Structures are given as C-alpha cells and as structure tokens.
Amino acid sequence: MATKTDKAWAEHALAALQEAGFKRGGARTAVVEALAGHSCAVTALDLDHELRRRKPAVGRASVYRALEQLEQLGLVQRLEVARGTAGYERVEPGGEHHHHAICRHCGRMVPFEDSSLERAIANLSAEMSFEVTDHDVILRGLCERCSN
Amino acid sequence: MATKTDKAWAEHALAALQEAGFKRGGARTAVVEALAGHSCAVTALDLDHELRRRKPAVGRASVYRALEQLEQLGLVQRLEVARGTAGYERVEPGGEHHHHAICRHCGRMVPFEDSSLERAIANLSAEMSFEVTDHDVILRGLCERCSN
DNA sequence: CCTCCTTATGAAAATGAGTCTCATTTCTGA
DNA sequence: TCAGAAATGAGACTCATTTTCATAAGGAGG
C-alpha cells in the first residue's frame, strides 16, 4: 500500500486512458495526479477543492467525469465513505487491494486486507449465476479511539 | 428469507422500539408495517410514496426518522442500491442475514448468503483493533440476463 | 505549421436524496 | 384529566452529483 505519490500508478492510469481512446486533457491528468497522491479514499469534493486552486482551475464537472471514467476502466475504486458521499481511491495494477473499516462515530477509515476473505469471495463468485467483476466489503463499528 | 408480509418481524420490531423507550406513533408503525411487506431492499423514497397516500398521510421526514431509528436498533439494514441512493431492508431476529449482488447494467439485486464468507469476516473482526458491529458485502457485475 | 472536426472543459443551473425547522398533534405517566 | 415529552407532517433547505451549453483545446490529414 503506497503512502507517497504513486507515480507508477499515475503513468499506468494515463496510459490506460489513452489506450481507451481518450484524448489527453489537462483536467483529467490533474485528477489522476491528485489521486496518485492519496493512498486511501478521497471524496470528489475534496479533489475538487484541491484542484480548484490550480493555475488553469479544474472544474467540478471535470473531476466527476474523470473519476467516472477511471472507475469504468477499473483504475479507481468507488466506495461510500459517509451517508450520501462517495470516496475514490486508486486501484493498484497488481490486483492487490484492501477494504475498509469505517468508524460510525468519527468517520475514520482503517484499511485492511485479508486473504481468507478474498478467497471466500472468489469461491462464492465462481458459484453464482452472476458475472461478478468487483466487490466491496465494509466493516462498520467503532474505532479504537471512539470505542471508549 | 420471507417473501410475504412478515408479521413476526413487525411485531418484533414494534416491541423492540417500545423497549427502547419510543412512544407508539402512527407514522413509525406504518413504516414498520410497510417494511414488513418487502423482502428485499426498498428505498426511503419508495416507502415515502407508498405511505403518502394513507388515511393519515405519513410525511417524508417521518419515514427517514423511523428508518434511522430502526437501523440504530439493528432492526433494518441499510445499503447503497444505486449511486447516492440507499435501500433498507428488515433484519431477521435470528441473526441470519444475506448480502447482495447488484447488476451494473439493470440494477437488479440478487440476494445470497454464504457461511464461509461470514466466517472469514467474523475471524477478521475478532482480530482487528476496531469494534466491528456490522458489515456490508456487495458483489458487482452483470446478472444472468445482462451478461449476454 | 494550418484546418476542421471531435473531444475536453468550466461555470452555472438543475437534480434528487436526505435533513432540518417548527407549529401541531398525540402519548403517557401522574 | 393534565402537563410535559415525543412524535408528526409540510415544506424549506443542504449538499453531493449530474446536466447543459458555450468555449477551448487535442490531433489527424493536409
């Protein structure tokens, strides 16, 4: 799990976008770069605020558009981080991924990964009459700090 | 998994509400009864429309309030059924519960349950420095009909 | 290096789910 | 029966996300 700007992911994402037929555009590139700088989920509005103050300001619509395109290509993962608010985070090319435990009280998000959980989901997916391409697992409760 | 109006659940829920210190109120009771009539997730707005046409019309605010209270008491489960839209469904007292596979294309929701998945989550929850009280698992992909 | 057409953008207005406020009505315990 | 606490319904409001639309880049073919 990267914690610093993930340049490799950014390049991978930009290449994938180009391959998908998108033209190079400043706004989309800015969104990719911004995402590369966050190791866990960020909301679209956070990105919007972060990018609004750039030299050529990025519009909110562009942020949402870029996120949607990235999600379609499997480059970012979308998840509900709070009631009615989505968070987005980059997906590592390797396929390795994590899930989240979210605190009901303070909203803190703790990432985790678990192979037996992934295995159970893989087996299950294989047995269903449903073509499963993705999955989300969210644990909810109280984080260490709030459980007292 | 019940398919017809689940009277037992409704009674259980009303009793739990009373025990939690809530007074008896027409709106809340109406919401409980409406939920008892749906075996899978319904959106708050669907319930609102369903209840708005009653003798003493139920207001939207009451529907949301009731759903929130029911969720707090663990009587209903909330999940995101579409971008920015939550669905609610009753939780059977026994503790048995199911998760959902949602079709990206048509939105169809297929419920499923899997004990090894539950086991993996239980083990995981026990090991985390996080007090896990609930979990959501959502599989996304294409349903039988849309995968062609 | 130019053109023309397509795609990308940003600002602002539109949507739509969910929340809040507040004047009333309904419960419930005393 | 009464008073105080809860519960309600309308409608205004918030806020994330989407749509619209006029304008500004890409970039393939000259």
Report, in ranges, which bases of strand C sit under 7 Å from a protein C-beta: 7-13, 16-21, 26-28
* pLDDT at position B53 over 90: no
Nucleotide with the nearest C1' to A25 CA:
C8
Please report residues of A whose CB lies closer than 8 A to that of B84: 84, 86
* pLDDT at position B2 over 50: no
Confidence of residue B94 (pLDDT cuts 50, 70, 90): confident
In Å, how far from its chain's centre is CA B147? 27
Q: How many angstroms is C1' of D17 away from CA of B15?
A: 39
Question: Which of the pair, A36 or B103, is modelled with greater confidence?
Answer: A36
Report, in ranges, which bases of strand D sit under 7 Å from a protein C-beta: 6-12, 16-20, 25-27
Tens digit of pLDDT for each residue in A51-106? 998 878 999 999 999 999 999 999 999 999 989 999 999 998 877 788 999 888 78
Tens digit of pLDDT for each residue in B61-91? 999 999 999 999 989 999 998 899 999 999 9
User: Rounded to a whole number, what is the distance in angstroms from the first to the last CA of chain A?
Assistant: 29
The reply to whether residue B137 touches residue A128, judged by beta carbons under 8 angstroms, is no
User: Rounded to a whole number, what is the distance in angstroms from the first to the last CA of chain B?
Assistant: 29
Neighbours of B19 (CB within 10 A): 9
Closest CA to A144 of A117, A100, A99, A109: A109
Secondary structure percentages of chain A, helix, strand, coil, to 5: 40, 25, 35
What gap in Å lies between CA A91 and CA A77, rounded to an integer? 6
For the entire predicted model, the pTM comes to 0.87
* pLDDT at position B1 over 70: no
Closest CA to A46 of A16, A74, A82: A82
* Contact (CB, 8 A) for B88 and B42: yes
* Contact (CB, 8 A) for A101 and A109: yes
The pLDDT > 70 percentage for chain A reads: 97
For residue B90, give every residue at least 6 positions away whose Cβ sits within 8 Å of its Cβ, in sequence order, or none: B6, B9, B13, B35, B36, B38, B75, B76, B77
